[in-house]
Amino acid sequence: MSKPFTVEPQTLGQRLVQARKAARVTQEQAAKHLGCSRPTLIAIEKGTRAATSEEIVKLAELYGRSVHELVRPGPPASPLEPHLRAAVAGHGAACAGVEEAIRALQDFANDYRRLQELTGASGPREFPSEITISGQVPLRDLAEDIAIRERGRLHLGDQPVIELRTLIEAAGVHVFYWELASGIAGLYVMVPNVGYCMLINRKHPPERRRWTLAHEYAHFLCDRHKPGIDYVSEPKRRTQSERFADALAASLLMPETGVRRHFLAVMSSTGDFQTADLCRLANAFHVSIQAMTFRLEELALLPKGTWNLLQERGFKPGLAKATLLLETPEGETGDPWPAQYLHLAVRAYLQEQISEGQLAAFLRTDRVSARELVLRATTSRDVDDQGNELRLELAAGESLLKLAAEG
């Protein structure tokens, strides 16, 4: 019989309980899968009986978890599922894949905390005060005001936002991308000892991902301690918080002064604003054509109902962009993890605190790709005077202050 893993039995037991409940597996089903009695499984979950290697592998397989997640050092994390459960109610078929989405966000948060522990990185930072939404100020006016303040704080002016994910992560928010069910746009939750975390559907088009990012950022600003799940199909009766999030997303991605200036420049030049101009304007601000049309309607620059008329006439946004040779501008990467997460993982690997296999597990990739990511994170690419590419190795752990003092 194999030796038990070195993780504390009580800690392992708590993780096994969380994983079993998240997978909706009963104790009877788990015991049958192991080929043991229910009292034996209960003893394993309580930590009064150590699990063997074979039992842990079998349970990990049954619960759809990695062995690494179950046996890693450190205390068990607080489960996110109970906090997000209320957000599921009332969406019916749209909830397909929610369990997997919650599990993916839990796994990322657990790994982020573990990397912080390994590298001695600091935990959550101080966030700006939450915004209070009251009925005294119209939501659209409040959203416009907050968007202007945020753009000023981030030194954006009224120009299009290119690297939205980078800016949001710089504000102290952890943004993860993962393949979710098509009906789910994103999840958001404040995780103890980790911070505010978002999980965005990587399968969605770039414009949709950016909208979800801005929408979830609005939740961070106004109700960051109320976790939630956003769906592509919205309920008929939307909460005040959801309506504010949409309004702020529109104002943040399509600032009124910037959009109005672009619109009037076209009008003064051609005396008209055509469908092609609408497509180019949406592309310039890195948003969907539908979102830009609604924004122009909201600003009274286009008549109300313009988008509905375009749909009735068979307008196809994808075909229009292809005809006009409009390519989606380069923006934030589709990497599953934030840049800081990659930095911590590489740092832990270089300090020999985790193995190459563990690094690959943290980065959700294979070992070859993990080595390439380490190379990317520890080298700088440049060219010499003859135009030849240079790859310079960076001593990422070297103190520049000490280096200057020694020089």
Q: What is the mean pLDDT of residues 300-327?
A: 92
pLDDT computed for residue 214 by the predictor: 95
256 vs 253: CA distance, rounded Å: 10
Task: Evaluate if pTM is beyond 0.95.
Answer: no
Spatial CA neighbour of 206 closest among 167, 171, 162: 162
CATH fold group of domain 1-76: 434 Repressor (Amino-terminal Domain) (1.10.260)
Residue 84 has what pLDDT?
64
Percent of the chain with pLDDT over 90: 42
pLDDT of residue 405: 63
Domain boundaries, the chain: 1-76, 256-323, 339-406
Interacting residues of 119 by C-beta distance below 8 A, sequence separation 6+: 344, 347, 348, 351, 353
Question: What are the DSSP calls for 180-213, one per residue?
Answer: --TTEEEEEEEETTTEEEEEEETTS-HHHHHHHH
Look at 118-127, 253-262, 363-372 and tell me which has the smallest mean pLDDT.
118-127
Tokens 């994390």 map to which residue? 77
pLDDT band at 194 (very low <50, low <70, confident <90, very high): confident
**Residue 87 clears pLDDT 80, i.e. is over it:** no
Question: Out of 59-73, 77-91, 102-116, 231-245, which region has the weakest mean confidence (pLDDT)?
Answer: 77-91
Q: What mean pLDDT comes out for the span 182-192?
A: 90
Mean pLDDT, residues 389-395 taken together: 55
Q: Between 404 and 267, name the one with better pLDDT.
A: 267
